[in-house]
Amino acid sequence: SFFLLRKEYNLYCQWVCSQLSNVSFEQSVTKVEFCQQSECYTVTCKTPNGEQHYVTRHLVLGTGPAPYIPDCAVQSNSNNVLHSSDFCHRLDELKAAKRVTVVGAGQSAAEIYHTLLQQAVPQGLQLDWIARSPRYFPLEYTKLTLEMTSPEYVDYFYNLKTEQRDWLNQNQKNLFKGINGDLINDIFDTLYAQSLDGPISTTFKTNSKLTNTRKSAGRLVTEFYHQELNEAFEIKTDYLICATGFKYKRPAFLNPIAQQLPEDEQGRYLVSREYAIDSEQKRIFVQNAEQHTHGFVTPDLGMACYRNSIILREILGYAPYQVEQKIAFQCFDLSDVETHSQQKSNAA
């Protein structure tokens, strides 16, 4: 199996951290300042014992994206609206509810639905799974597609025009936001097994966009719009779980050095091919904040070692680890074929 268990990955990270003396927990970065004289950054952290300061020549930002809940769900100001990242912490109260509605069509939504289907629906829970997408798409994981998680495809993607990159990011979601095909089949098999005992207390709806949430008579009213039927409908529920992904938000601690971090027209970092974002393109690097420049492989754990090897090479001035250049059979640009663009230009 290609799929690492979440718990297994967690255990692996704990094993690595236990061997490192330079990893510090329970420290929250509050401010990053730059000293022109020393050409160094001072990183200020809040710790249980007060403030801690670090002086460094380079920064690597691994803060990643933050949980995203649509504005129409936030506006209800209800504690019964939660992000999928809080699911495990609140599982017991969700299992005790009368009705739970899951919004989203990715792996997290599927895992949450499957867990509640197995553990709570047989005990009387009414469970809804609502998706904006036209169907529950499986994750594309065939071998030629996997070649797109490669240095060659990152090179190809990075050299495209901005509008083309943005279009691809919107249309490649099934490459990294789909559902494990085995899990889809497991859900179906669980539904089939439960159906042998009678009707199942569950509702599926695709093509349905969440438009509003409000409180009414102690319950949460969720409003949706069916995008193919052009009709609105609502579900009265106890909990709304938003498996709506994550979005990058620039950390506030970077505000003192904001002038060193140029942005594009949409307020995104101008990321170099080597993952640097400062104006000199050599001091500050990002991890998992460059999807608009490097493509859908940005959050891919399988590409983390490749990205890290490049960042280390840029910081140290030499390559402590081999930086892969070519691993795919495919060539994504036209460098391996004869093109006629020059001939057409001459003819014109």
Domain boundaries, the chain: 6-64+254-316, 67-139+176-246
Band of residue 5 on the pLDDT scale cut at 50, 70, 90: confident
Beta bridge partners of 61: 286
Q: What is the pLDDT, as a whole number, of residue 1? A: 67
Question: pLDDT tens digit string along 29-66?
Answer: 999 999 999 999 999 999 999 999 999 999 999 998 89
| Number of Cβ within a 10 Å radius of residue 65 | 15
236: Cβ–Cβ under 8 A, 6 or more apart, which residues? 99, 216, 219, 220, 221, 222
Q: What is the pLDDT, as a whole number, of residue 75? A: 82
The mean per-residue pLDDT over the stretch 165-169 comes to 96
In DSSP notation, 221-268 reads: EEEEEETTTTEEEEEEESEEEE---EE----GGGGGGGGGS-B-TTS-
The mean per-residue pLDDT over the stretch 276-305 comes to 93
Domain 6-64+254-316 has CATH 3.50.50.60: yes
Q: What is the pLDDT, as a whole number, of residue 341? A: 65
Q: What does each C-alpha distance from 266 to 129, 161, 270 come to in angstroms?
A: 33, 15, 10
The mean per-residue pLDDT over the stretch 227-235 comes to 97
The mean per-residue pLDDT over the stretch 234-251 comes to 95
Q: Letter for the amino acid at 332?
A: F
- Collapsing DSSP states into helix, strand and coil, what is residue 104? coil
The structure tokens listed for 180 are: 């494990």
Q: Do domains 6-64+254-316 and 67-139+176-246 have the same CATH topology?
A: yes
The mean per-residue pLDDT over the stretch 117-140 comes to 95
Class of domain 67-139+176-246: alpha beta
Which pairing describes strands 246-247 and 66-67: parallel, antiparallel, or unpaired? antiparallel
Question: pLDDT tens digit string along 178-204?
Answer: 899 999 999 999 999 999 999 999 999
For the chain, give the percent of residues with pLDDT over 90: 86
Band of residue 344 on the pLDDT scale cut at 50, 70, 90: low
* Interhelix angle 107-119/181-195, nearest 10 degrees: 20
Q: What is the pLDDT, as a whole number, of residue 301? A: 84
The mean per-residue pLDDT over the stretch 307-333 comes to 95
- Higher-confidence position of 175 and 233: 233
Q: State the average pLDDT for the chain.
A: 93
Cα 291 from Cα 271, distance rounded (Å): 10
190: Cβ–Cβ under 8 A, 6 or more apart, which residues? 114, 117, 118
Band of residue 81 on the pLDDT scale cut at 50, 70, 90: very high
